[in-house]
């Protein structure tokens, strides 16, 4: 009985080793690099200091409850636009077992006091090129923020 149990364990260990030898562990892009410029919709002027970040497309941004773990992580990060309204939101990578494109879409939020928050979605169809480092790149073009209603 002890021999059968040991050989059964060895079988599963051998099977796992065979499966893993055919797999290549790689780091794949899970979100693209997003670049663009933010302008005021009413004047066409660049807007500096706009917070640009990835968001969960299913998250309710109007929650009155305090943020919990995953929501806190999501609220961190992002970038700010420069004086000309330009931004570069870097691509993100993650370890995967198989080398394949793993991102389909990304939702990006644009926020600045005095302007209505804008959330927009970009899909793999929007990825126009890859950067020299292999990162997929989405050129968002000009993003126009409307002044907040008073």
The residue among 104 and 149 whose pLDDT is bigger is 149
pLDDT at 31: 79
Q: Which CATH architecture has domain 24-145?
A: Sandwich (2.60)
First and final C-alpha spacing in the chain: 79
β-pairing, 33-40 vs 86-89, is antiparallel
pLDDT at 25: 45
The model's pLDDT over 66-92, given as tens digits with 9 standing for 90+, comes to: 455 444 445 557 999 999 999 999 888
The model's pLDDT over 89-142, given as tens digits with 9 standing for 90+, comes to: 988 877 655 555 556 778 999 999 999 999 998 876 666 667 777 788 888 999
For the chain, the structural domain boundaries read 24-145
Choose among 44, 43, 37, 50: nearest CA to 114. Answer: 50
β-pairing, 105-111 vs 118-123, is antiparallel
Task: Give the CA distances from residue 3 to residues 16, 19, 44, 86, in Å, rounded to whole numbers and listed in that order.
Answer: 20, 24, 77, 67
Compute the average pLDDT of residues 2-11. Answer: 59
pLDDT at 95: 65
pLDDT for residue 34 is more than 70: yes
């Amino acid at each position: 009985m002890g021999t059968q149990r040991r050989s059964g364990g060895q079988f599963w260990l051998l099977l796992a080793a065979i499966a893993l030898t055919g797999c290549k562990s790689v780091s794949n892009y899970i979100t693209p690099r997003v670049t663009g410029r933010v302008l005021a919709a009413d004047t066409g002027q660049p807007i500096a200091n706009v917070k640009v970040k990835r968001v969960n497309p299913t998250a309710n941004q109007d929650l009155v409850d305090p943020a919990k773990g995953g929501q806190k992580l999501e609220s961190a990060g992002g970038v700010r636009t420069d004086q000309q309204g330009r931004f570069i939101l870097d691509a993100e990578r993650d370890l995967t077992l198989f080398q394949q494109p793993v991102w389909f879409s990304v939702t990006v939020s644009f926020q600045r006091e005095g302007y209505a928050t804008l959330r927009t979605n970009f899909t793999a169809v929007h990825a126009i090129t890859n950067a020299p480092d292999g990162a997929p790149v989405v050129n968002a073009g000009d993003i126009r923020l409307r002044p907040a209603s008073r």
